[in-house]
Structure formats: C-alpha cells, structure tokens
C-alpha cells in the first residue's frame, strides 16, 4: 500500500499544494522551519484522522483561514482509494473515503496503517504513563477495531463515574446504588482491555527484542513490563475496597486507565539508568516492532515516516537502518532531512528503489533531482 | 435585514427561536401566514395556546395528557399488570404505533448521566417504584416491568439502576430485545449488535406462533 498523490489546501503552512509520490522512497529536504514535518503530518492525518503533533484539530488550519482540506490517493494492489479530511473553523471534522463520509472516525483507523518515528518520541520514555498507554493503544487500535470501540466506551464510563464521584463529594453524600452500574461498566469494558493488552505484549516483545539486538549488537537485556492495578481474580472486591478513597479523591483509582508499561534495561529503569544511545535504540526498536506487527496483521507494509532522525543517529545505527531500507524491509518511506547532500549520498546507491526528492520552502514543495542536491 | 413591519419582525424573531428554523425560514413562514386566510392563523395561534395551557403530564405515568390521568392509564381495557418504562413521550407514541402492546407506560423523562448533571432524582424513578409497590393503584401493583430504554451506555446504566430498585418487589423485569432490524442485512449490521443478537438468540418456532 502506498500514497500516490497528496493535495493540501490551507493545511498548516501550505496554502495550496499537490504532490505525486514515489512508491518507494520520498525524501523531503529544506531548511529548518520550512514545513517538512508538516508534510509528514498531512500523511499521518490521512491515516489516523488527526495530527501527530497537535491535540487541537483547529491548529492544523492555516493561520487566519477558515477551511483546510487534506486529500490523498492510496494505492493497494490495483485499487486506488481517495481519502479526504476536511475541517472548517468551528465545525465538525469530516473524513470521507471514496467520497463517502464515515459515520464514526474510528472506522477509518487502521485501514491505511502508518508508523512515525520523530524526535518527540522520547516523550514516551520521559513523560508519564499516559504517553505509553497512548502509544500501545495506538497500535492496538490499528489492528483490533473492537478494542478501540471498547476503549472509547471505557473512557466514557470512566468520565461518568468520576463526574458522579465529584457530585457525591459536593453533596457530602454517597449513593452506592447509583455508583454501582458505572463500576460494573468499567469492569465490563476494562477486563477485556486488560486481557488484550497482556496478549498483545506476548506478541510484541519478541519483535521488539529482535530489533533492539539488531540495532545495538548489545549484550544488555531489554524488557517491557506491563503493569496494571486491576486484579482480575476478584475485581469487584478490589473496586469495592477502594470506594472510600475514590470518593475522597473524586476520581477512580483502580482500572486499566492507570496501566503503565515499564521500560527496563538489564532490570533497571531505562529512563533513570539508560544512556542516550540506549534510549535512542530502544525508541527505534519500539517503532520497528510496531511496523512489523502492523504488517503481520494487515498482510501488507504500513507507510513509514522518518522525521529528522538522521541527525539523531550515530553511524552504526544509521547503517543498520539503511540495511533494512535496502533489504526492502519497508514499503513506502517518507524521510525529512535538513541536509540534502547527506540524504542524497545515503540513497544514491539504492539502484532498485525509486527515490524522489522534494525541496520544501515557504509553503511549497517541488521535485528536484539527486544530482542538484549532490552538487550543492 | 430590514423588515417593512414591526409585526413581521416580531413574528420572525419568535418563530426563529424554534429548533431548526433560521431567520430566513421564519420570514417565509410569516409571509405564508399573511397570504392565507386569517382564520387559519387564529387556529394556529389557538392551537399553540391550548398546547401550552391545556396539556399536562399524567399524574400516574407522566405521559402527556389532557387531564389528570392520560387516556392510556384511564382506559379500562389496558392491561394494568404490565408497565413499559420509556425515556420520553415520543417513545410512547412509537410503541403505540406498533399496536403490539396493550399494557401501561411509565415515562422517565430522560436517562441517568452524571456528566450532564442528570441523577435519579431528576427522573420519575421514585414514582415508578411507588407504582410497583402498589401505592397508586387499588388493584395491587403490576406483575411485569418492560424496560424499553435506548441501548446507549446511559440507557444501560439507567436500566441497571432501575432493575436494582425494582428487584425487591419480586416481579418480572424484562428488556426489549436488541438485534438485527427487520429487513436489515447481516453484513451491514455492526459487530456489537450482531454479537448481542447471537448471544440473546431465540428458539425458532415452526408453528408460526410468536407467543411463548
């Protein structure tokens, strides 16, 4: 599966743009701040109906404009699907596939799988458990659509229960019989999520370990420990025992919304004790394992977006990654690089892949040939 | 917009307060009324005034009514041993149109949703419990409660809460069936609905009768 063509109208810094892509390697070059990452984000948007970088949709609309449109042509085998995301200031986001609007955006997620490796990935190591849950939920949502439905319902029930706890606190009175249905809903939707997350880790870990070893030649043992405070032997009792504290804190303390994935290296916390290099390898292995898993479940290769990662990698890791590229481990690839001559040198020996370069500048992007970049 | 008459402007302002009607549609409606017979407008005005002043909620089931007790509760031919619990009066009309139900109703006035600040005390739940307890009817309470509440998460919560409240009375509590719509196609039915229909499948009846 690959993206043949992309059209943008008022998306971020692009007033009006139309680009045709290579099914193999697309390299976006240009100065910092020229909008290379925004192009990757447009591709990401088409796949997951949201920006990889902004939580507020309206921030994706070009400054002082009222409407933005992203349109893409995805080709798989002989079929071409058009996907269009549009957003008008103050209105509901609209996603259409082959000119037909989705009833629910969640139906779109996973059809055109994508993996993004970007500099802000380090958040997944440094930030709180929410970023890690989001990362793994993002993968699960792309391979298991009932999981996503369950997750959305769980979050809704959680919001209702917390809202109720707050009401109880305001009124100074707890109505246990009213809290019970929400508690049961949390278990009804939460227990399958717990089960699915456990199962997922069994499938994901070997892929992850393989990529980590491959990137580092290292002896160190990496591990991802799935942690939950929901005990599935007697969850009703657990919820019951924590009721008083829930009321006092006005939020639900037990449940899969508090799950975490501990990243470990030789039994120690990666965040506290891992070196910069180990952390980088860990992150890339996380993403490459995500890529493999999506490919296995979908039966075709996801699109891979590499945002500005050449700056972050040392020669050995770089070489390992290029081995994967030249060995056709990936399908369509989008790469950004502020130093055009570096990318041109890296890709020039890949005779079997079609490499296309785009020079990005001030809201435009034009194809350039490799020789021009090497001369500069 | 400039209106040639203050009265038209006033009418437009009032009509456009209705849901789904903007100022342009409101103006079209106002001008339409001006073109028609005067009696037609008076009849409309009178109907609106009567709607406000003469309809009320049935003191028994809270359905809309013209008197203290609604026409369904007052009908001696209705089966008082069954009460069908619904969210709002539109649901009563929808079920009445099926002509399949001959019992009584109870209109809750919504569903429980803490996010929107709707709790049990904002709904007619206490009066339902009273009816079941036999507090409102001389001939004893009902034998069966049918929950006909939308299968949303809030609807499920409300149904669960009601079931707990009504259980101590030892009556039969049922819920309307959920599943594939008649005339619908399986492949277009979402997984959750289809999954539920498989779980709560019914025995196939070859005698052609649909009663137990």
> What token pair was written down for A317?
């890791």
Residue B212 is predicted with a pLDDT of 43
Residue B195 is predicted with a pLDDT of 85
Q: Answer whether A178 sits within 8 Å of B160, measured CB to CB.
A: no
A185 neighbourhood in chain B, CB within 8 Å:
153, 156-157
3-class SS of residue A283: helix
Whether the Cβ atoms of residue B95 and residue B82 lie closer than 8 Å to each other: no
Residue B113 is predicted with a pLDDT of 95
- Rounded to two decimals, the pTM is 0.81
> What token pair was written down for B127?
């009066």
What is the distance of C-alpha B35 from the center of its chain?
36
CB-based contact, B112 to chain A, within 8 Å: yes
CA–CA separation, A324 vs A214, rounded Å?
10
B135 pLDDT above the threshold of 60: no
Whether the Cβ atoms of residue B174 and residue B166 lie closer than 8 Å to each other: no
| Helices (H), ranges, chain B | 6-15, 23-35, 38-54, 71-74, 89-98, 126-132, 153-166, 191-199
CA–CA separation, A215 vs A291, rounded Å?
15
Whether the Cβ atoms of residue A320 and residue A162 lie closer than 8 Å to each other: no
* SS percent in chain B: helix, strand, coil, step 5: 45, 15, 40
B57 pLDDT above the threshold of 90: yes
Residue A352 is predicted with a pLDDT of 79
Q: What is the mean pLDDT of each run of 10 residues along chain A (376 residues)?
A: 96 95 93 92 95 88 92 94 93 92 88 92 92 95 90 95 92 90 93 96 96 85 94 86 90 95 94 90 93 94 91 79 82 91 83 88 89 72
Q: Is ipTM over 0.95?
A: no
Radius of gyration (C-alpha) of chain B in whole angstroms: 23
Residue A128 is predicted with a pLDDT of 93
> What token pair was written down for B119?
């709790």
Torsion of CA B168, B169, B170, B175, to 10 degrees: -90
Measuring CA to CA, how many Å separate B112 from each of A117, A174, A254, B108, B174?
A: 44, 16, 23, 10, 19
Give me the residue from A146, A156, A177 closest to B161, CB to CB. A177
Q: How many CB pairs under 8 A join A and B?
A: 45
Q: Which of A19, A22, A21, A25 is nearest to A7 (CA)?
A: A19
Q: Answer whether B153 sits within 8 Å of A185, measured CB to CB.
A: yes
Whether the Cβ atoms of residue A371 and residue A341 lie closer than 8 Å to each other: no
CA–CA separation, A346 vs A327, rounded Å?
14
A42 half-sphere exposure, CB direction, 13 A CA radius: 31
What domains are defined for chain B?
6-54 (1.10.8.420), 64-211 (3.40.1360.10)
Give me the residue from A163, A178, A181 closest to B115, CB to CB. A163
Whether the Cβ atoms of residue B104 and residue B82 lie closer than 8 Å to each other: yes
Mutation pick from A157, A162, A173, A181 vs chain B, by most beta carbons of B within 10 Å, is A181
- List the single range of A217-221, B20-24, B175-179 with lowest mean pLDDT: A217-221
Q: Which residues contact A266 (CB under 8 A, 6 or more apart)?
A: A220, A221
Asked whether the CA dihedral A264, A268, A272, A274 is positive or negative, the reply is negative
Give me the residue from B115, B161, B191 closest to A178, CB to CB. B161
3-class SS of residue B31: helix
Q: How confident is the model at residue B210 (pLDDT cuts 50, 70, 90)?
A: low
CB-based contact, B167 to chain A, within 8 Å: no
Q: Which residue has the tokens 């009556």?
A: B171
CA–CA separation, A356 vs A366, rounded Å?
10
What domains are defined for chain A?
1-113+302-376 (3.40.50.300), 122-297 (1.20.1050.90)
B209 pLDDT above the threshold of 60: no
CA–CA separation, A43 vs A39, rounded Å?
7
């Amino acid at each position: 599966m690959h993206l043949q063509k992309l059209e943008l109208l008022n998306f971020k810094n692009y007033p009006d743009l139309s680009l045709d892509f290579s099914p193999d390697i697309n390299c976006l070059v240009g100065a910092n701040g020229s909008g290379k990452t925004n192009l990757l984000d447009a591709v990401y948007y088409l796949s997951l109906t949201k920006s990889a970088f902004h939580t507020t949709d309206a921030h994706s609309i070009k400054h002082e404009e009222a409407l933005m449109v992203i349109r893409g042509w995805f080709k798989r085998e002989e079929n071409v699907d058009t996907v269009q995301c549009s957003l008008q200031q103050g209105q509901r986001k609209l996603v259409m596939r082959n000119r037909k609007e989705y009833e629910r955006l969640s139906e779109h997620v996973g059809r055109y799988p994508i993996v993004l490796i970007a500099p802000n990935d380090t958040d997944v190591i440094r930030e709180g458990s929410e970023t890690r849950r989001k990362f793994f939920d993002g993968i699960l949502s792309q391979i298991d659509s009932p999981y996503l439905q369950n997750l959305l319902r769980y979050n809704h029930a959680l919001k209702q229960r917390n809202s109720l706890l707050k009401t109880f606190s305001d009124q100074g009175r707890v109505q246990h019989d009213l809290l019970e249905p929400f508690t049961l809903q949390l278990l009804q939707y939460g227990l399958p999520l717990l089960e699915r997350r456990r199962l997922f880790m069994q499938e994901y870990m070997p892929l992850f370990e393989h990529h980590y070893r491959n990137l580092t030649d290292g002896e160190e043992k990496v591990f991802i420990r799935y942690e939950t405070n929901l005990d599935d032997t007697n969850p009703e009792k657990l919820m019951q025992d924590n009721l008083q504290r829930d009321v006092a804190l006005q939020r639900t303390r037990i449940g899969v919304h508090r799950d975490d994935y501990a990243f470990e290296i030789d039994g120690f916390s990666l965040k506290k004790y891992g070196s910069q290099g180990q952390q980088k390898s860990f992150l890339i292995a996380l993403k490459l394992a995500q890529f493999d898993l999506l490919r296995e479940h979908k039966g075709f290769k996801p699109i891979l977006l590499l945002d500005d990662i050449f700056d972050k990698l040392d020669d050995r890791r770089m070489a390992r990654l290029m081995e994967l590229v030249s060995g056709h481990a990936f399908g369509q690839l989008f790469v950004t690089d502020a130093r055009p001559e570096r990318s041109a040198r890296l890709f020039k020996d890949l005779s079997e892949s079609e490499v296309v370069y785009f020079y990005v500048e001030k809201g435009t992007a034009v194809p350039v040939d490799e020789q021009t970049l090497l001369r500069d | 917009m400039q209106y040639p008459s203050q009265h038209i402007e006033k009418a437009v302002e009032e009509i456009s307060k209705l849901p789904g009607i903007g100022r342009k549609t409101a103006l079209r409606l106002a001008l339409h009324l001006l073109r028609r017979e005067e009696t037609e407008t008076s009849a409309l005005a009178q109907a609106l005034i009567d709607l406000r002043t003469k309809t009320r909620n049935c003191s028994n089931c809270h359905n809309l009514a013209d008197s203290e007790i609604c026409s369904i509760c007052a009908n001696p031919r209705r089966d008082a041993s069954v009460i069908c619990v619904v969210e709002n009066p539109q649901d009563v009309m929808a079920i009445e149109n099926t002509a399949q139900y001959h019992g009584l109703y109870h209109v809750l006035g919504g569903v429980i949703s803490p996010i929107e600040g709707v709790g049990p005390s904002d709904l007619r739940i206490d009066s339902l419990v009273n009816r079941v307890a036999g507090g409102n009817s001389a001939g004893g309470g009902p034998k069966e409660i049918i929950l006909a509440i939308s299968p949303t998460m809030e609807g499920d919560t409300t149904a669960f809460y009601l079931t707990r409240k009504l259980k101590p009375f030892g009556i039969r509590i049922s819920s309307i069936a959920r599943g594939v719509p008649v005339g619908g196609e399986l492949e277009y039915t979402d997984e959750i609905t289809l999954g539920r229909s498989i779980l709560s499948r019914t025995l196939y009846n070859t005698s052609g009768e649909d009663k137990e």
